Chains A and B, each alone.
Chain A
């Protein structure tokens, strides 16, 4: 520390302990930046953070800051104690939508950094939990010019509040052998279609999309999104026999039995001699065996997506996982993608009509009723939607429903 020129810094005794230890220190990063540039807003934010560490309270409040024509995308932050930290009186965030999969060229990323150094604090978060590139710390007076320059470079703002939010996707076909559809391309098309709903709050609450290429669900879509688009396949797992033999040779039959066969959740795998046999009719596409043997096994050839709806975080009814609405949909042609967009559009319409303030679509379906939801969006009931049929007798079937239609059509 002694050789560094600290003339641009105020003392931060409550934060300095976070400069120790092997993990990268954001405090050191911030200090280096302030030392070099003397950026006063960054210094104000660091000073207020130091004060929060002393009092164990936060000191930011929201307000309304935006760009021309949009109602979302800028998160306003005003210090509650500007008399103490005048340099942090304003510290607004601009949420910028990155490319799906968070891929960048250094050229495009440097362009963002240059604009941000000119107009903002120089601090940023890569990335927000929803998937935004977050430029943190700008004064209201600079927001429009900063946005215009970013927008001219091809960047747009993400969602905030009661909007469709910025999407997230896994690395997908860009690098992963398990990607069963084009996560990046479908993400790009779906979010582009809903751009108006991203920029202008007009929904009951937030609506999130996440796109995972396979059931490993690396974008955490079932837990974290209202619309979870997950790659899957409906034919047989592909087997590379030679690679399978090499795997068994290398790892041994014990490993095959203890870590692959007996870990299959539906006992779809068995040992015959020294070979592993797959009963694809029992497979639920969990990915485990493929994860253990990526060279020998891969998803089938007839690929598409499963759509789950209604996932959300804790507040207020407790965490909800998304549940299956469409077990399989092809996702190859433009028509396939348009079909997905059209279906989700109907779901968002229904929710807009029926949702209460601050109610996510999963909560809304639970309150209003799954049957009503399915009827409204035009989805047929499907046994893949349930873990098991209902276990209570209290329902009211429509009088013209024929429960015995189709009986006796066993395969």
Chain B
């Protein structure tokens, strides 16, 4: 008997009677545990296509500006990042926006994990895109990174604060308004104050640190609120 034939024949050489209690046992099992990465990828699949499209549009516009007018690339991209942040924030709060919290809370994966995973997946994708854009700016990697991250985090911070206080469509409009406001502010800072000049970089750095700290706090508060909701149900 050849080796390959032997290996195939071996499958019949270890017979076992059918287990009697298999069905009942498998039915009694809780759902199989899922790895963090698999969960994150699974939840990324539930992110709306429009959210991905918005993120990619921002990225494509930034690339186009960088190619057509490199001197304007930084402030123009900085003015676009709030819209990417808006997509991430509204995605994390989608169940609250559409009044589906109760359903999400009763599902296999808790609302907190789902919101965290979706915002995390989209946020991670945005940071990757921003990291790809940063070296393209004429101001250097660090400065461009700071210029792009600050409006992004500011929008995320104000958007999450709005979502925590408002409900339904009102919250969605509030986040959109915040994104427009921050984008307008970025434009105003360029045209009115010449804020993107190297001399003003320390203020940007300060603003970024402040925005990052407050965003982390707001993120924690948002998650805490979800836990409270979970407890109340």
A, B in one complex:
no
